[in-house]
Amino acid sequence: MDKGRPPKQPQHSLKPLAPVVPGLPAIISLDDLRSYDLEMLDAQSVQEYAPDILDTLFCQEKAGRADYMDTQTDISAKMRSILIDWLIEVHMKYRLSQESLHLTVNLIDRYLAITPVVRKRLQLIGVTAMFIASKFEDVKPPELHEMVYITDNAYKKEDILLMECAMLTSLGFKVVVPTAAHFFEPLQNANGCDSVHRQVALYLLEMGLLDMRILKYTPSHVVAAVLLLSNELLNCQPVWPETMVQQTRQAKVSLQACADELRLLLEANQEGGQLQAIHKKFSSAQRHGVAKMKF
């Protein structure tokens, strides 16, 4: 032992560490873990703040956006729909989060609303929007060379980087805003959706991304209308309970116009339209084949 230094305590290889979660033993059996409240183990579970977070989202969401295609001379609403349909395929390929998809569409619409573009650069805008959104919302976003690859090398790395700078500058570097994806989880929980009901609602929500008529509604309004329509399609009673009126801040009558427009989109998609990415996505067994259901 060195003079003046206390002897080191022997470290046993099986010495328990301090518990990560207060109240949870440092070493527990698998059976104990199964019986333990798993919400305690989720560092992102903040149920006590959920109402305040939802209130903040309602306060921060923007009013619905008008149809901006009147200001665009070289692109149309149909071209936008084709672009988003393709981006949904890209979203599936890279298994990105729901938040990424909705933020991508939001960035595209905000940019096109203030910047005239030519059609040959529309795909570049879409890829760049997804590149930005995935870096904000996903743990492992696609890399730059992957963005080039999915466009079949129609653009170079430099093109995407320059468009990223142009888009961020035009938007004042305000990237993240409340989207339908942020409202969907708490509101579908309040609606008591099971796994099939949840997929039906997501199917309707993503169909709404394709159509510019849905842009005039706020994100929370769209989510509420989606849940109302899904309740109608699945014969839930009551169709719009008082709990949902309180949670969504919307009465049934105020949601009916949006729900009717979504129903028309559903009927058109079931008849077999040209844009089939969403139909293919929600025909899978993983999503309970809800796109093949007859309502």
Show pLDDT as tens, one digit a residue, over the chain (295 residues).
555 555 555 544 444 444 444 555 555 555 554 555 544 455 566 677 878 888 888 899 987 777 899 999 999 999 999 999 999 999 999 999 999 999 999 999 999 999 999 999 999 999 999 999 999 999 999 999 999 999 999 999 999 999 999 999 999 999 989 999 999 999 999 999 999 999 999 999 999 999 999 999 999 999 999 999 999 999 999 999 999 999 999 999 999 999 999 999 998 877 656 678 998 999 999 999 999 998 8
**Could you give the domains of the chain?**
64-170 (1.10.472.10), 180-292 (1.10.472.10)
Beta carbons of 120 and 107 less than 8 angstroms apart:
no
The Cα 275–Cα 177 span in angstroms is: 27
